[in-house]
């Protein structure tokens, strides 16, 4: 069985990018807190952060699906594999928890 090195290279590149970006983070003393001042701006922020969170959750699932040896989508849709569906649900929930923690700070 031969592994495809491309998903591993993509994952490692993402890891290097995000660790290098975190090194440029602003220190806590200089951090500016942003709070919406009206209902409209709070609603807008909720929509923006919600859409970004959904996009990141889908991206995280697609990256995980690319890194494993079989296709979760194929297993769930074509083979009706309930165990793969439960695994996919737990992966998405885990990714969403990480994204929510990152968004809340």
Q: Is residue 23 part of a domain?
A: no
As for how many domains the chain has, the answer is 1
- What is the dihedral angle through the alpha carbons of 14, 31, 54, 58, rounded to the nearest 10 degrees? 10
Q: Distance between CA atoms of 35 and 51, rounded to whole angstroms?
A: 18
Residue bearing tokens 């990480």: 98
User: Of the spans 29-33, 61-65, 85-89, 101-105, which averages the highest pLDDT?
Assistant: 85-89
The pLDDT, as a whole number, for residue 82 is 92
Residue 4 lies in a domain: no
Alpha-carbon gap, residue 6 to 10, rounded angstroms = 6
Instruction: Determine, yes or no, domain membership for 54.
Output: yes
pLDDT recorded at residue 30: 59
Q: Is the pLDDT of residue 17 over 80?
A: no
Query: Does the pLDDT value for residue 97 go beyond 70?
Result: yes
Residue span of the structural domain in which 71 resides: 43-105
């Amino acid at each position: 069985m031969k592994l495809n090195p491309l998903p591993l290279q993509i994952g490692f590149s993402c890891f290097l990018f995000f660790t290098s970006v975190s090194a440029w983070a602003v220190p806590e003393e200089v951090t500016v807190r942003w709070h919406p001042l009206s209902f409209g701006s709070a609603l807008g922020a909720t929509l923006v952060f919600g859409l970004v969170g959904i996009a990141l959750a889908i991206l995280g699932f697609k990256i995980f699906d690319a890194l494993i040896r079989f296709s979760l989508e194929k297993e769930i849709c074509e083979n009706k594999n309930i165990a793969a569906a439960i695994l996919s649900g737990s992966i998405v929930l885990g990714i969403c928890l990480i994204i929510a923690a990152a968004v809340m700070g």
